[in-house]
Amino acid sequence: MKRLLAFALVALVDGAVRPLTHSVHTHKVLLGPGIEPLRWWLGRLRAWRTFEFAARHVPAYRAFLAEHGRDGRLVVKGSLTEALRGVPEMDKESYIKRWSVTERCVGGRLPRRGVVVDESSGSSGTPTSWVRGREERAATRQLLQVGFARTASTLRKQPFLLNAFSLGAWATGMNVTTSLTEITMIKSCGPDKDKVISTMKEFGTDYTYIITSYPPFLKSLFEDDRLNWADYDIVAAFGGEGISENMRSHILRYAHSVFGSYGASDLEINLSIETDFTVALRRAISADQRLSDRLTRTGEYGVLPMIFQFNPFDYLLETNDDGELVVTIARDRNINPRIRYNIHDRGHVLRMRDLLPVLKELGHEKVVEEKFLDLPLLFHYGRSDMSVDYNGAVIGPDALRDVIYSDPELLEAVENHRLISYEDANGDRQLHIAIQLTESATSAAVLDQARFRAFVADELRRRNGDFHNGIRTAPEGTLPTVAFYGHHTGPFAEDGGKLKNEYVWQLPQGGLDRWEADLSHVVARE
């Protein structure tokens, strides 16, 4: 009876809500203040319904559950949240790669019409194809349009969106173009600085240019001196990876707003967004150790989290025992459902009702004044499977990024960075911290590399106590090394051939030999 009543309620709510989502303006009603508890509760009911729907109608999911000794019914004896946590997690290895695309679809088949196929970047291996039906694409389009409308409503000039995400089959670039074409002026340039700059020169200064891309491209674009950036009105929107607050401040020298969103090809490209409130909160956390200790796991991961807001009506976000995000897309109309999908990102959720008392207690009333939506918060620390182990410590590329961008001189001079773990001739695991200089910094040769090698090592140790202890107790001959490399040299010689930067390499024995890497700069033990 509980199941029937819950699903009847969800069907009633979905029937009432669906007409509201057909318009950007009416969709905003669903994000209005004061109904967060209802959204939270209904989202869990929808996740329950979607789980049982997928178990009945998706052949791969039915087989996946059987392997875990589960049937397709959720028994709710206590809280619904705890019952859902008992559903087995899936990920790319355990589910996506083991069954065909059609077996993972509702009814075991792909619809004849209305399906779009896009790809993930393949940054962790071979690119994977993802299929998206009409309902899913409509939901993505509505969310992107709502976010865009919020930004456009604050602009003084006509918006002109320059889509500098990678185009072709890649999920983000394609979805941004198809979702926003009908509501704004748009040119899909791809990550091509020449095209972006020539377009802005051609159309002039009468527009607000909303430039969307990956953070490294935005940094490189704004450092190009072929344009007098001060003459142009610019909003920067990024995705694909996080940024430090120093990087945001750097970009704000050229753009009057800088916002990011969080998504994944495995799931959807716009699961959550930054708002004025989340940016203010992140900056407060960065400046106040007390607030950081109360709200984040920065001490554990060594990185300041990105902070986003998401709609719990559409997405159920959980954290497992390993600190990884587990995501359920609550809509039952996706042709390829994902139930408790582990994207292997570190993160956790905090509800607004639990956050606001802490902010007031610690004297951050100004942050509270920035509150835009009473949606829950997602704290995101980067990928859990893009890190290296060193003598019992875990170091992630986001931590190295935050260190590099914490110094203005380094931020200007560095184009890319990489953590390289390899095995030496003696069979010992080694860690090499490689930092690539920009083309201009390479030719100018003015960076005090000795000072900044020490700075990078000291800051990593200060921010990550496990790494500090790992260095103090490391066996002889296994201390990490830090080196700067000229533009497109050494480990970075072939950069630019892939969609996204590679920040972590796990190499076989003697893996650095091919570049004659500079290993003389050893991190001091004390």
Query: What residue ranges of the chain are covered by domains with CATH 3.40.50.12780?
Result: 111-270
Q: Tell me which long-range contacts 271-274 makes (C-beta under 8 A, separation of at least 24).
A: 271/308, 271/310, 271/315, 271/327, 271/378, 272/308, 272/309, 272/310, 272/315, 272/378, 273/147, 273/308, 273/309, 273/310, 274/306, 274/307, 274/308, 274/309
Note the pLDDT of residue 270: 84
313 close to 18: Cβ distance less than 8 angstroms: no
393 burial class (0-12, 13-18, 19+ CB within 10 angstroms)? buried
For 92, which DSSP code? Answer: I
d(CA 161, CA 164): 9
Question: What's residue 156's pLDDT?
Answer: 86
391-515 has which fold?
GMP Synthetase; Chain A, domain 3 (3.30.300)
| Distance, CA of 333 to CA of 474 (rounded, Å) | 53
Are the C-beta atoms of residues 298 and 292 closer than 8 Å to each other?
yes
Q: How far is the CA of 416 from the CAs of 125, 132, 222, 330, in angstroms?
A: 20, 33, 16, 37
**pTM summary value:** 0.84
Structure tokens at 489: 């040299």
Give me the pLDDT at residue 11, please.
63
pLDDT computed for residue 26 by the predictor = 47
Q: What is the mean pLDDT of each run of 10 residues along the chain (526 residues)?
A: 62 56 52 79 93 96 96 87 94 95 96 88 67 87 81 88 86 85 92 95 97 89 93 93 88 93 87 92 95 92 90 94 95 92 94 94 89 87 81 82 92 92 76 92 90 92 84 82 91 71 73 65 75
Question: Where exactly does CATH 3.30.300.30 map onto the chain?
Answer: 391-515
Q: Given this structure, which CATH class describes domain 111-270?
A: alpha beta
